[in-house]
């Protein structure tokens, strides 16, 4: 695969960024694409390693959750066979232009060359391939030659819903996607900032899918505008891809102060501004119009959503952004022999954090304080190895805005869940979060004809996992409706 000695002769290079001082002045993508010859050189580093751990396994615990055939398309890119490489990539991943931008690349973590901290630049090559596909005009609608007469409704148009819809339409089924917001894309569109992924990328995929036979019904809320019971009556199958939208409640004093917000409504509001839409979201409504301009901002949480708040605040003109993480500061380098090829705990600096955020590790947020119902400070404390506050270590951070980004505990407590009640079985995780009970093989829930996929089934996860779940659900539904399926598992 690739050039036999490529990994010995060629240094790892990834796409570069605009300087932080420039990129915080706008909300556009800021990655500087590599030249075609440079991409080919990076693909040439892929070695014939015998067991390609980057592929991922059936469990998805390591490597690529959608089982991209990474050594194959790296070899094709190195050989200049771009069209064949693009076809190979799309055989396992419906939307590589999304994952090439926002996936954290567990495939690179599993790369054999990561044993020397120099993995193949898989994510960079993937994005280049996906963008090249559109540049060459190779992304065309794949319209089913034969229609089955079966109809499937999909609730939610995030990555799981989109992947399932495309697969089912290509299998010949009639597919209707119901989205409560004004445009399709779910949190791909409204939760991920434009500086990480611009939304015209979603628009062109939606256009492709509409030609393939998918019908999108936007501004339609299940449980309010139409009931799930009606969908189950009208369709042969219903797939629930509602995501994990309920934010974890920190139960902190002062959370009701003006200036303290959950992270996602803040990100959604800014994305709607950038798109020229009305700021008021149907699902993530905010009474206030929030701006961090000239303010001191504190972000509570250490994950991707927290990092997105950091980058958004800087672009709005925040004078200081502090990010609080209750976990200990990770090591600079993991124990390779003890962790590889699995995802490792090590220090990772996102592009947003690199724009000037102050990161505080092993710090607990004890509450929010203010005057006249307005936030003025955040009360914090150092924590011990059990993440318990250490008496006498309390300190105060001055703050004009605070965003709580502690993840999500399960599906929205509206629409499908209250309507179906006890008929729809849920399961709890170790942290008390909920997800819809449906097995990974056939994705069927405890309600006849109702399937579930994505974060609503597996809990808060990655976009690439949602795509995998959507594809698996599509095959399961196709198999149930037709008795056999040609869709990949």
Instruction: Give the model's pLDDT for residue 61.
Output: 75
Pairing, β 408-410 against β 246-247: antiparallel
Instruction: Give the model's pLDDT for residue 17.
Output: 97
Alpha carbon separation from 265 to 242, 283, 287 (Å, rounded) = 16, 9, 10
Lowest mean pLDDT among 31-35, 60-64, 452-456, 468-472: 60-64
Instruction: Give the model's pLDDT for residue 70.
Output: 96
Name the pLDDT band for 240 (thresholds 50, 70, 90): very high
Cross-strand pairs, 389: 383
**Length reported for the chain:** 489
Is 106 within 8 Å of 63 (Cβ atoms)? yes
Residue 86: CB atoms within 10 Å: 22
Question: Is 3 a residue whose pLDDT tops 90?
Answer: no
- Residue 1, domain member (yes or no): no
Name the pLDDT band for 430 (thresholds 50, 70, 90): confident
Q: Give, as one character, the DSSP assignment of residue 148.
A: -
Q: What are phi and psi of 172, to 5 degrees?
A: 100, 5
Same domain? 385 vs 287: yes
Task: Give the residue-averaged pLDDT of 103-116.
Answer: 96
Q: What percent of the chain has pLDDT over 90?
A: 89
Same domain? 425 vs 377: no
Q: What is the CATH number of the domain that holds 221?
A: 3.50.50.60
Same domain? 254 vs 374: yes
- What the block records as the tokens of 118 is 């120099």
Q: Give, as one character, the DSSP assignment of residue 428.
A: E
- Residue 144, domain member (yes or no): no
Q: Provide the mean pLDDT of the chain.
A: 95
Same domain? 330 vs 388: yes
pTM: 0.96
* Residue where a domain terminates, one of 387, 406, 425: 406
Question: Is 341 a residue whose pLDDT tops 70?
Answer: yes
Same domain? 241 vs 303: no
Within 284-422, strands assigned E span 296-300, 320-325, 358-361, 363-371, 374-382, 395-398, 401-404, 408-410
Same domain? 219 vs 358: no
**By CB neighbour count within 10 A (0-12 exposed, 13-18 middle, 19+ buried), where does 20 fall?**
middle
Instruction: Give the model's pLDDT for residue 60.
Output: 67
d(CA 83, CA 80): 9
Q: What percent of the chain has pLDDT over 70?
A: 99
Same domain? 398 vs 476: no
- Residue 74, domain member (yes or no): yes
- Residue 450, domain member (yes or no): yes
Question: Is 415 a residue whose pLDDT tops 90?
Answer: no
Same domain? 167 vs 115: no
The position carrying tokens 């009640």 is 421
How does pLDDT run across 285-335, given as a tens digit for each residue?
A: 888 899 999 999 999 999 999 999 999 999 999 999 999 999 999 999 999
- Residue 129, domain member (yes or no): yes
- Residue 87, domain member (yes or no): yes
Query: Domain range for residue 204?
Result: 151-246+409-482
* Residue where a domain terminates, one of 83, 108, 136: 136
Name the pLDDT band for 104 (thresholds 50, 70, 90): very high
How does pLDDT run across 8-56, given as a tens digit for each residue?
A: 899 999 999 999 999 999 999 999 999 999 999 999 999 888 899 998 8
Is 105 within 8 Å of 56 (Cβ atoms)? no
* Domain count of the fold of the chain: 3
Same domain? 208 vs 260: no
Q: What is the CATH number of the domain that holds 22?
A: 1.10.1060.10
The position carrying tokens 């998805």 is 60
- Residue 488, domain member (yes or no): no
- Residue 82, domain member (yes or no): yes
Same domain? 220 vs 265: no
Taking the alpha carbons of 202, 206, 208, 212 in that order, is the dihedral positive or negative?
positive
Alpha carbon separation from 75 to 137, 277, 432 (Å, rounded) = 22, 43, 45
Instruction: Give the model's pLDDT for residue 431.
Output: 81
Same domain? 290 vs 385: yes
Q: What are phi and psi of 482, to 5 degrees?
A: -110, -15
Same domain? 56 vs 31: yes
Question: Is 1 a residue whose pLDDT tops 70?
Answer: no
Question: Is 216 a residue whose pLDDT tops 60?
Answer: yes
- What the block records as the tokens of 439 is 């097995």
* Residue where a domain terminates, one of 368, 385, 406: 406
Name the pLDDT band for 2 (thresholds 50, 70, 90): low
Instruction: Give the model's pLDDT for residue 256.
Output: 94
Cis omega (within 30 of 0) for bond into 54: no
């Amino acid at each position: 695969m690739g050039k036999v000695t490529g990994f010995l002769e060629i240094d790892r290079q990834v796409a570069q960024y605009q300087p932080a001082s420039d990129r915080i002045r706008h909300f556009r993508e800021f990655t500087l694409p590599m030249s075609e010859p440079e991409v080919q050189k990076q693909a040439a580093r892929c070695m014939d390693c015998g067991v390609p751990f980057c592929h991922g396994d059936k469990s998805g615990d390591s490597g690529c959750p959608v089982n991209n055939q990474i050594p194959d398309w790296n070899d094709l890119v190195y050989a200049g066979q771009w069209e064949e490489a693009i076809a190979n990539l799309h055989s396992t991943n419906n939307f590589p232009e999304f994952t090439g931008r926002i996936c954290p690349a567990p495939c690179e973590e599993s790369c054999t060359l990561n044993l020397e901290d120099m993995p193949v630049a898989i994510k960079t090559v993937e994005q280049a391939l996906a963008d090249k596909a559109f540049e060459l005009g190779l992304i065309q609608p794949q319209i089913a030659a034969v229609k089955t007469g079966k109809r499937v409704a999909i609730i939610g148009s995030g990555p799981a819903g989109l992947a399932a819809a495309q697969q089912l339409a290509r299998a010949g089924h009639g597919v209707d996607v119901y989205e409560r917001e004004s445009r399709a894309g779910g949190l791909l569109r409204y939760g991920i900032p434009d500086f990480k992924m611009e939304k015209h990328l979603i628009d062109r995929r939606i256009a492709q899918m509409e030609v393939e036979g998918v019908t999108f019904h936007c501004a339609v809320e299940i449980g309010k505008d139409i009931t799930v019971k009606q969908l189950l009556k009208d369709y042969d199958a219903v797939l629930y891809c509602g995501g994990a939208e309920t934010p974890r409640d920190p139960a902190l004093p002062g959370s009701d102060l003006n200036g303290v917000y959950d992270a996602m409504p803040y990100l959604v509001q800014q994305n709607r501004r950038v798109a020229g839409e009305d700021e008021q979201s149907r699902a993530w409504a905010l009474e206030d119009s929030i701006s961090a301009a000239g303010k001191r901002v504190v972000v509570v949480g250490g994950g991707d959503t927290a990092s997105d708040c950091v980058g958004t605040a800087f672009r709005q003109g925040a004078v200081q952004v502090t990010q609080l993480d209750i976990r200990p500061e990770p090591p600079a380098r993991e124990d390779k022999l003890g962790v590889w090829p699995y995802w490792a705990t090590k220090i990772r600096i996102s592009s947003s954090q690199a724009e000037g955020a102050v990161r505080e590790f092993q710090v607990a947020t004890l509450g929010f304080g203010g005057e006249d119902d307005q936030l003025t400070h955040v009360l914090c404390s150092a924590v011990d190895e059990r993440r318990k506050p250490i008496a006498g270590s309390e300190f105060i951070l001055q703050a004009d805005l605070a965003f709580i980004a502690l993840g999500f505990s399960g599906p929205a407590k509206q629409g499908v869940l209250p309507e179906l009640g006890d008929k729809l079985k849920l399961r709890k995780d170790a942290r008390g979060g909920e997800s819809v009970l449906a097995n990974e093989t056939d994705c069927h829930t405890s309600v006849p004809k109702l399937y579930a996929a994505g974060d609503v089934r597996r809990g808060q996860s990655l976009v690439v996992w949602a795509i995998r779940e959507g594809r698996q659900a599509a095959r399961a539904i196709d198999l149930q409706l037709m008795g056999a399926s040609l869709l990949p598992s």
